Amino acid sequence: MPIAFEKLGRSSKHKLKGSVKQRFGGTCAYCGCQPRFLTLDHVVPRTQGGLDMKSNLVAVCQRCNRSKGSRPLWDWWQGSACWNEERAMRLAATVLVCKIRFVK
């Protein structure tokens, strides 16, 4: 079992955050904006068993994080105005734990 994010020491928390943020070059993984602050989102929400692992974390802007809430990623994203297939493919390549649902 990985260690819960809250229980990580300050520096390892910082490192994890930093490497997640760098994956998309400081931009929001969902909408592509470049916010002043990026927040970490659990692709699979913690309430649904999502883990505090790099493969389940993405750096996103606050607006997307709030808008997504605890909904499943693809349900939220494909129905949202910031849906972008190219970013979705990049994201899918970095996270291990999302169920992809095909929508016509």
- Shortest distance in whole angstroms from residue 35 CB to Zn ion: 7
Quick one: 64 or 91, whose CB is closer to Zn ion?
64
Question: Is residue 31 a contact residue for Zn ion (CB under 5 A)?
Answer: yes
- Tell me, residue by residue from 50 to 89, as one string, x for binding to Zn ion by CB under 5 A and - for no binding: -----------x--x-------------------------
- Shortest distance in whole angstroms from residue 62 CB to Zn ion: 8
Answer yes or no: are the C-beta atoms of 72 and 41 closer than 8 Å: no
- Shortest distance in whole angstroms from residue 65 CB to Zn ion: 8
Answer yes or no: are the C-beta atoms of 52 and 5 closer than 8 Å: yes
Answer yes or no: are the C-beta atoms of 59 and 20 closer than 8 Å: yes
